[in-house]
Structure 1
Amino acid sequence: MAEATRGPQFVRRVRRAWYKILRALSVEEPNFEVEYEPEEEVVEEEVLGPWHPKTIEMIETIWGKGFNMPGGPQHVLTLAKPFALDNQMNLLDISSGMGGGTVAVSSKFGCYATLLENVPELAEISQRNIDMSQVRSKIKLQEFDPAKISLKANSFDCILTREFLFRTEDKTRMLRTIKRAMRMYGQLSLTDFMLASDKDPSPSLKKWIESDPFPIHLWTVDRYHQEIEALGLDVRVSEDISKDYHGYMTRAFQSFIDRYQEGKIKASKNQLPILMGEVERWARLAALLEAGEVQLHRYFALKPVKG
């Protein structure tokens, strides 16, 4: 009886969280419902941890196979396109994710790639996705500690880092290590979350940082500009791509809604907390991007001959 009573209340919580992100992303879907049928008998439901296969299944259902963030292959291939990669070039990918981005780039351009991952559980998931791909022989995954990272000098033609450095406390060291690892005329494509200004953080920003499962260390846009300039790289592109990223969120959640209502996907009862967590997490960031307090900035730069 207690389980049956809890069920509808829990679904209402999920629905409220869902509509929160719909409002944040300006997605209109008034008829969306999360279905739940109370069981006749009390059954102990398995509580899913962050790395449980059903948890990963739900996250990949939202963001795409091999992805745990917005954008999917479209985002990563857009960032890698200026590299003009071919099957003789080496790419270093330092990015948050589950291997899908590296697989997408290597599959599209035929390049060799090294993926660095600092979370052991994500490394295991990434390796699984790499092993299941047709380019598994071209991708090497390495676990690393950002605080102790060391890369061989002049070893990569191109380096891609997507939405990762904001989780690294010593970004100065990371950026210097990245530059050192670039070959002469090497290319860097970098995206990261940044503070629009150095004013005191709002309650919304504090909530986002405190509630995130991984650490967040944000630089201001000005601080990033100064650090990139100090590296002596030839910066060809410096732009705010927050609007594009907001669009990736919108399309991903709209697609989830459409597929759910068409009966193509289902969420089991113990997957609903995972869904709710993703909804709440990205709703917070969407609101910050829309308010302009946080932005996703993109740099594309070359390593000069005398850099």
Structure 2
Amino acid sequence: MPASPGTEEVAPPTLTLKERLVAWWEGYDLSGLMQRRRDAAADGPDAAAGGVSSGPAEGKHLNRKGKPLWTATRVQVSEKIWGEGFSTPGGTDFIPSMVKPLGLNPAMSVLDIGAGLGGATRTMAQQYGAWVTGLEHNPVLAELGMFRSQKSGLARQAPVQQMDLDGFKWTKRVDAIFSKEALFTIRNKEGLIDGIEAALKPRGQLLFTDYVVDPAALKQREFDSWANHEPAEPHPWTVEQYATALTQRNLDIRITEDNSDIHRSTILAAIQSLVKHLETVSMDRDTKIAVVEEVELWARRVAALNAGLRVYRFYAMKPADVG
């Protein structure tokens, strides 16, 4: 039946996957939830949206939907999945094997680029006595990371500070630079690597892991689905692009290693452990939504690892000064 003059037909409401998961989790009647959505839609688009404009919010550290990339609730959920001080796979037990090539000791100065909550920063300081500065683009993670370093008595030896990594420059040269799956979100990687090379002392070391693209295994549709749903826009390079960029800056590449299988199994084990944990606790609605969003994020990344995304570890050394 056509709509009456002066009125518009309201499209039938739909529920997102997240809403369906939360409704299932909380035992909601989906038909009742749909009816409330229809009632809200009939009152106008602002009512359906809870009275909030659908336009993207303004701000520097927001996701692609205009919402904060990190909140206290998301941090809490991430630490429950990955361990205290970590927001990505590989916690305190994993870092020592990863950084072994650096030969860290108390005389060494290190930068941790993309430090997040500073878990790796503090692990390197605590286990090896190195002096490590964590650099984190997101101000929420940087502030909470510094709080955790202060709480651990490592405010001087393992500070975490906010820095715009797209414009990375470090004036005091260091013995080593470390990074863990953080560079793929940096658009200006050429400038970043210029800054890294300049910050390393002669015989300085660079060790990092990152998401890279494998063109030979690329499944474009699945890969694009991952890229389009990442909270921050990804700009992944290929292994060849990293190798070329490092070689052009006279950095001697010693390790180029595919760690994708380890990364995938770590994610799956952590999610399985989380599911078992959730069976024993009760949570408020905001926390449940944050859990669902985080699980969706990592499920998409696992799927992308089967569609041309890989995780590689790179280790390179800067040559001695030739005088």
Q: Above 0.5 in TM-score?
A: yes
Q: CA RMSD in A?
A: 2.9
In structure 1, the partner of 2:284 is: 268
Matches within 5 A, 1:1-307: 13-14=21-22, 34=25, 36=26, 51-152=70-171, 155-197=173-215, 202-261=220-279, 263=280, 265-289=281-305, 291-306=306-321
Check whether the contact 1:194–1:218 (CA below 8 A) recurs between aligned residues.
Answer: yes
Gaps of 5+ in 2: 1-16, 29-66
Ranked by relative contact order (alpha carbons within 8 Å, sequence separation 6 or more), the top structure is: 1
Sequence identity, in percent?
Answer: 28
Check whether the contact 2:175–2:200 (CA below 8 A) recurs between aligned residues.
Answer: yes
AA paired with 2:95? Answer: V
Aligned-pair distance for 1:111?
1.0
Check whether the contact 1:92–1:160 (CA below 8 A) recurs between aligned residues.
Answer: yes
Check whether the contact 1:198–1:220 (CA below 8 A) recurs between aligned residues.
Answer: no
Gaps of 5+ in 1: 1-8, 17-33, 39-47
Cα distance, 1:129–1:93 mapped onto 2, change above 3 Å: same
AA paired with 1:107? Answer: Q
Counterpart Cα distance in 1 of 2:289 and 2:21: 10
1:161-203 deviations in Å (ceiling 9; x for gaps):
1111111111111112111111111111111111101898622
AA paired with 1:301? Answer: A
Counterpart Cα distance in 2 of 1:115 and 1:95: 7
AA paired with 1:13? Answer: L
Matched position secondary structure for 1:282: helix
Check whether the contact 1:159–1:189 (CA below 8 A) recurs between aligned residues.
Answer: yes
Check whether the contact 1:92–1:158 (CA below 8 A) recurs between aligned residues.
Answer: yes
Matched position secondary structure for 2:127: helix
Counterpart Cα distance in 1 of 2:23 and 2:83: 22
Check whether the contact 1:49–1:55 (CA below 8 A) recurs between aligned residues.
Answer: no
Counterpart Cα distance in 1 of 2:133 and 2:110: 6
TM (normalized to structure 2)?
0.76
The number of equivalent residue pairs is: 272
TM (normalized to structure 1)?
0.79
Check whether the contact 2:170–2:199 (CA below 8 A) recurs between aligned residues.
Answer: yes
Matched position secondary structure for 2:89: coil
Aligned-pair distance for 1:100?
1.2
Counterpart Cα distance in 1 of 2:221 and 2:271: 25
AA paired with 2:253? Answer: V
Aligned-pair distance for 1:14?
4.7
Matched position secondary structure for 1:137: coil
In structure 2, the partner of 1:4 is: none
Matched position secondary structure for 1:166: helix
Cα distance, 1:66–1:15 mapped onto 2, change above 3 Å: farther
Counterpart Cα distance in 2 of 1:110 and 1:199: 41
Aligned-pair distance for 1:257?
2.4
Check whether the contact 2:114–2:137 (CA below 8 A) recurs between aligned residues.
Answer: no
Q: Which moved more, 1:218-227 or 1:174-183?
A: 218-227
Cα distance, 1:49–1:148 mapped onto 2, change above 3 Å: closer
